[in-house]
């Protein structure tokens, strides 16, 4: 059964400000008795992306893609969650759930609908969005590119063309001029490897091409675009505490048959290409990818923090039927619990990738972590077990600044359409009514407490089949 909380109830309860750690004697007592405490300044929040929640983003390449019937469940983003209109109510809801941070993306196609023209109404809208978050005491984490491109850019070749770097830099400079006083945390690009792989290898995202050479060119340009964005942020931001990062999707790659050297080779190859190549180019300026080895000096030392998106693990095995993927086959472990998306639930994986990232000596912000779960049966234990592993890594010295759960709201899940629900808050797509799920209530207690209680661990971590 879902919670009886709905938007009107919670807006009334929030009174415009989010309660924090120590609000009330009960919460203080729970924090003092919590089994796993996180630092006082830890960021607790959720994440969204503009195209998935705002609705009516008619001027980007994803909208065009949807009209061609390329979505698996036949749906289209359409009005989505109508967050463009309902953002105040949604943010009131997050504040009432004790969240102190929220990651959102700017929609480039709204801000710059035609090349070089910046829409004052769109800029005013996003400024109000960010000011409202600040008013509620919620730290905005702003993503500049989250998978969508303006249609005019797509028509010119998108990220395949060298001109995209100048175009992206121009847009970023204008965004920082408009919003820089309100934003400390900037995420330049969301999941560049996923963007390139889905659009230029699997051909299930726009522009629907299959070419390793094009894929490599896109990644090269995204690294340059990130570097240009980092420069623009540093030059245009009025803040002295500005932090620049990238949201990088990391997965664990393990050999399915550990006794076979070829399976180890496939796992190492997957890890090198998916996890390391782009990230290392933003740290040391060297890019190593098929058809694209060499120095990219512009990328060197352009990260103040690393944004981590973690969801799952892939098993890797040698398979002669897959020459395009270096004779590698990647799949979810057949004997482990899986999400509605078919991904393995593997909490220890977030500990493993955090330990990997720790070697780069950069603060880490978990910018996405979540589970596709229609009935909210897996999400409570998913939350507890992943936070447990994050706490474990932090106890071993890994510098984690915060945790932003994916997602705040059920939303349009790209090529999967509306069939996958990642939200802590249920959205009825017919009425747009928001209803907090039990996992959302659980996360609210975690946020308010600043940690995980003993009873939570016993109830969820102790009995979960994937703990």
Catalytic residues: 191, 368
What are φ and ψ of residue 401, in 5° steps? -90, -25
What are φ and ψ of residue 144, in 5° steps? -90, -30
CA 187 to chain centre: 10
Q: Report, in this order, helix, strand and coil percent for the chain, each rounded to 5.
A: 45, 20, 35
Give the CA distances from residue 291 to residues 213, 214, 219, 287, 336, in Å, rounded to whole numbers and listed in that order: 6, 9, 11, 10, 36
DSSP state of 205: S
Distance CA 140, CA 130 (A): 7
> Closest Cα to residue 313, out of 335, 283, 291?
335
Nearby residues of 201 by Cβ (< 8 Å), 6 or more positions away: 210, 212, 215, 324
Report the phi/psi class of residue 392: left, alpha or beta, with left for phi > 0 and alpha for psi in -120 to 50. Answer: alpha
The four Cα atoms 295, 296, 298, 301 give a dihedral, to 10 degrees, of -70
Q: How many residues does the chain have?
A: 467
- Per the listing, tokens 């630092």 go with 39
The four Cα atoms 72, 63, 48, 247 give a dihedral, to 10 degrees, of 90
Output Rg (C-alpha) for the chain, integer angstroms.
21
Distance CA 449, CA 32 (A): 9
Distance CA 34, CA 454 (A): 6
Can you read off the two tokens belonging to residue 358? 């720790």
DSSP state of 242: -
CA 329 to chain centre: 25
Name 451's bridge partners: 37
Distance CA 116, CA 170 (A): 8
Q: Tell me how far apart the terminal alpha carbons of the chain are, to the nearest angstrom.
A: 24
Looking at 256-402, list the stretches that DSSP marks H as alpha helix, in order from N- to C-terminal side: 261-271, 277-284, 348-358, 379-395
3-state SS assignment for residue 399: coil
CA 283 to chain centre: 20
């Amino acid at each position: 059964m879902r919670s009886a909380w709905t938007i009107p109830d919670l807006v009334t309860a929030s009174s415009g400000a989010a309660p924090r750690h120590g609000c009330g004697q009960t919460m203080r007592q729970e924090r003092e008795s919590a089994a796993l405490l996180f630092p006082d300044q830890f960021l607790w929040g959720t994440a969204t992306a503009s195209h998935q929640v705002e609705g009516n983003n008619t001027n980007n390449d994803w909208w065009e893609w949807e009209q061609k019937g390329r979505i698996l469940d036949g749906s289209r983003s359409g009005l989505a969650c109508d967050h463009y209109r309902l953002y105040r109510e949604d943010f009131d809801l997050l504040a009432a759930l004790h969240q102190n941070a929220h990651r959102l993306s700017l929609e480039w196609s709204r801000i710059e609908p035609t090349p070089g023209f910046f829409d004052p109404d769109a800029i005013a809208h996003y400024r109000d969005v960010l000011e409202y978050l600040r008013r509620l005491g919620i730290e905005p984490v702003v993503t500049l590119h989250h998978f969508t491109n303006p249609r005019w850019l797509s028509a010119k070749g998108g990220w395949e063309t060298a001109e995209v770097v100048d175009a992206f830099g121009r847009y970023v400079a204008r965004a920082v001029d408009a919003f820089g006083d309100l934003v400390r945390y900037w995420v330049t690009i969301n999941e560049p490897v996923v963007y390139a792989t889905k659009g230029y290898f699997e051909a299930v995202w726009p522009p629907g091409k299959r070419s390793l050479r094009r894929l490599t060119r896109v990644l090269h340009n995204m690294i340059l675009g990130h570097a240009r964005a980092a420069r623009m942020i540093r030059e245009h931001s009025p803040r002295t505490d500005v932090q620049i990062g990238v949201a990088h999707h990391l997965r664990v790659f393990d050999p399915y048959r550990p006794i076979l050297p070829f399976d180890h080779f496939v796992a190492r190859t997957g890890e090198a290409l998916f996890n390391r190549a782009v990230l290392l180019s933003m740290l040391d300026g060297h890019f190593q990818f098929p058809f694209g080895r060499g120095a990219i000096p512009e990328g060197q030392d352009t990260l103040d923090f690393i944004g981590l998106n973690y969801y799952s693990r892939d098993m890797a095995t040698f398979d002669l039927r897959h020459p395009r993927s270096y004779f590698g086959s990647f799949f979810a472990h057949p004997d482990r619990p899986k999400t509605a998306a078919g991904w393995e639930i593997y909490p220890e994986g977030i500990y493993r990738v955090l330990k990997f990232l720790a070697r780069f000596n950069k603060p880490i912000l978990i910018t996405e972590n979540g589970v596709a779960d229609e009935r909210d049966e897996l999400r409570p234990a998913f939350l507890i077990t992943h936070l447990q592993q994050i706490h474990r890594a932090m106890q071993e010295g890994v510098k984690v600044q915060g945790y932003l759960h994916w997602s705040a709201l059920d939303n349009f899940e790209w090529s999967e359409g509306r069939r996958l629900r990642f939200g802590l808050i249920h959205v009825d797509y017919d009425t747009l009514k928001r209803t907090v799920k039990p996992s959302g209530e659980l996360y609210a207690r975690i946020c308010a407490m600043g940690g995980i209680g003993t009873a939570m661990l016993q109830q969820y971590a102790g009995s979960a089949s994937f703990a």
